[in-house]
Amino acid sequence: MNIVLRLFLWLVLLSLLFVPLERWFGAAHAPRSRREQLQNLAYYVISSLVPIVLLSAPAALLAVAARHVVPDALVLAVQSLPLSVRLLLAFVVGETGFYWGHRLSHELPWLWRFHALHHSTEHMHFLANTRTHPVDMVLTRLFGLVPLYLLGLASPNVAGSGAPALLLVLGTLWGFFIHANLRWRLGPLEWLVVTPAFHHWHHSRNDHINRNYASTLPFLDRLFGTHYLPRHWPAEYGTDTPQAPTLSGQLLDPLLPAKKTAAS
């Protein structure tokens, strides 16, 4: 099936699911501008296509490097594990790598230049998941992929080595859910998996910012001291980092030298 057609069908399915849910269970807010809606659709396409192209070469290099760097004994040890254990390990290792890639995108200014776009939305909705700069998406994905290859969990010689692709797909689908405008609290499940409430606090504009970096496993934020999940919801979303109003500006500005501000 043509990839554009697949993207269109996925968008239809996602819209049929989340648009009514957000209307019934979401917080009321002013309607988004037509420009923002069109940009969100553009980012849906860009984030679905461009990272695949940009990740192809690094992933191939990682696979080649892994053959020379990863000891055969480690590959054999991983291969001897049950498939279910290998997939679970790949899930935890990949998520841990993503956690640190995501956290560094907040803590390192040159990475934040790319990541700030994702935090520019002032009203949470499911398509905020793909409102992401391609460079940001590629870098954070690499943080999740590299340890999989280094630990032999993504070796071509190991059954279940399709884990990287599987994790990327599942992570993307779950991302639509946790970005959605759904005022749901899921009780004990919030200890096990990332939920909309958990991730909405990550997008808080001023209150307890730089928290909740995990995309699926909240125990990582508990482990590394960045967990925050009160009973109430954030009062405001977004970022104070200025963003260009146009799509081209949002994509190009982070690639240009930082503008110097006059001394106050």
Weakest-pLDDT range from 38-42, 101-105, 137-141, 163-167: 163-167
Confidence of residue 48 (pLDDT cuts 50, 70, 90): confident
Residue 171 has pLDDT above 60, yes or no: yes
Quick one: average pLDDT of 77-91? 87
User: Bigger pLDDT: 257 or 216?
Assistant: 216
The pairs formed by 74-77 with CB atoms below 8 angstroms and a separation of 24 or more are 74/151, 74/152, 75/152, 75/155, 75/157, 75/158, 77/152
Note the pLDDT of residue 262: 42
Note the pLDDT of residue 241: 94
Is residue 66 in a domain?
yes
Mean pLDDT of the chain: 88
Note the pLDDT of residue 263: 40
Weakest-pLDDT range from 19-23, 60-64, 153-157, 158-162: 158-162
The string of pLDDT tens digits covering residues 184-202 is 999 999 999 999 999 999 9
Is residue 149 in a domain?
yes
Distance between CA 32 and CA 41 in Å, rounded?
13
Note the pLDDT of residue 264: 31
Residue where the block lists tokens 């807010």: 29
User: Bigger pLDDT: 259 or 128?
Assistant: 128
Is residue 90 in a domain?
yes
User: Bigger pLDDT: 262 or 3?
Assistant: 3
Residue 225 · residue 213 · CB < 8 Å? no
Note the pLDDT of residue 260: 55
Residue where the block lists tokens 């307890």: 208
Quick one: average pLDDT of 23-40? 86
Range of the domain at 234: 33-255
Is residue 78 in a domain?
yes
The count of structural domains within the chain is 1
Residue 261 has pLDDT above 70, yes or no: no
Distance between CA 48 and CA 53 in Å, rounded?
10
Is residue 71 in a domain?
yes
Residue 222 has pLDDT above 60, yes or no: yes
Is residue 228 in a domain?
yes
Weakest-pLDDT range from 50-64, 112-126, 214-228: 50-64
Handedness of CA 145, 148, 152, 153 (dihedral sign): negative
In percent, the amount of the chain with pLDDT more than 90 equals 60
Quick one: average pLDDT of 159-168? 65
Is residue 3 in a domain?
no
Is residue 65 in a domain?
yes
Note the pLDDT of residue 257: 85
Note the pLDDT of residue 162: 65
Highest-scoring range by mean pLDDT, 46-55, 150-159, 221-230: 221-230
